[in-house]
Amino acid sequence: MDALIHHLENQQELTPREVEVAANLLLDITVSDAKKEHLLGALAHKGETPAEIAGFVEVFLAHAVPTHIGLLDLDGPTLDVCGTGGDQLDLFNVSTTAMFIAAAAGAVVVKHGNRGITSQSGGADVLEALGIRIDLPVDGFRRCLEKAGIGFMFAPIYHPAFKAIASVRKTLAARGVRTLFNLIGPLLNPAMPQCQLVGVPARDLCPVFAEILQRLGRDSAWVVYGTTGDGRSVDEVSLMGSTRICKSGAYQDIQDEEVRPRDFGLSHAEVASLRGGDPKTNAAILEAILSGSDTGAKRDMVLMNAGAALACAGLADTMGDGIELSREIITSGAAFERLQLLRKAAR
């Protein structure tokens, strides 16, 4: 551990073997918290490279509970839609709403998430408020995929080895120290989806995450960074300003583009019109959008993100086509039906 810390303090990038050793030491209950704090702090101060982040994620995933979804006879591409959190805007649960539309369009949604840390309502919180059991073991998760085309993996259940680092993360967070673990949540999906739409809270993370997801073997990955009219960050495709999208995949170089709501015939919205609240409030918003009773700015925000997800998964040729398909799916009632199917399956 001391040698690794020394390398980091000298601004040296860790080799793949050193990353493997460092990751396993972080998960070793016999290593002191002080050493782990020192390592994570030195890594953050140096700045994590895409190769280092991908290497840590690969080791952590090797310690995760396996899902074995490859043994299931599933139709459609596997897909995760999520953000890193941390944009501090208190929006409703956009990506969780969008996942029901994606499932209705033919994706197999393997959602990995947790309770809210930087917001009132994380993905797990809103699903629980909808009457969906979030702490299902692997057999329950697989049943949901087969019955509803959507399954939720509650992060603490699927990453038991992270208990060895929990107190360290808490201590560093209290000091205001950003670490590797503030970045990698969306990368730790144990199901290793073929396709992934990830929202990040900083513009310069777009190409970084696109490269990482490429290294992790995603067939298609879209990394998005949105903005508000006054320049604040949004870890979703934004209805409030422009969005940078970096696309990568197994067979393509990273592509970089910028989109705006008007590109798709949608109207700009203010942050206040997209704010959510506690899990119960956000659950009501989600149901209103999927049932078709909310046709305002919140629905349009979901359409943009669902449209991007469908294009990322190859279920629509373009994001614009994905938005139109998403609108049709809501109107038909198919998205709301997916919510009902998941409620029945996740018991």
64-85 confidence digits (pLDDT tens) = 999 999 889 898 999 999 876 6
Domain coverage including residue 266: 75-155+191-345
Predicted confidence at residue 129, as pLDDT, reads: 96
Residues 42 and 79 in one domain: no
Is 176 domain-assigned? no
Residue 66 maps to a domain: no
Residues 101 and 145 in one domain: yes
Q: Give the integer Cα–Cα distance in Å for 171 and 168.
A: 5
Which positions of the chain have pLDDT values less than 70?
Answer: 84-87, 116-120
Q: CA 17, CA 34: separation in Å to the nearest integer? A: 23
Looking at residue 64, its pLDDT comes to: 97
> Are 10 and 140 within one domain?
no
- 42 and 132 assigned to the same domain: no
Same domain, 209 and 265: yes
Residue 6 sits in the same domain as residue 125:
no
User: Are 324 and 222 contained in the same domain?
Assistant: yes
Rounded Cα distance, 107 and 309, in Å = 9
- Supply the DSSP string of 102-115, one letter for each residue: HHHTT-EEEEEE--
Per-residue pLDDT of 126-148, as tens digits, reads: 999 999 999 999 999 999 999 99
Q: Is residue 167 part of a domain?
A: no
145, 173, 347 from 319: Cα distances, Å: 25, 37, 34
Mean pLDDT (the chain) is 94
Does the residue 184 lie in any domain?
no
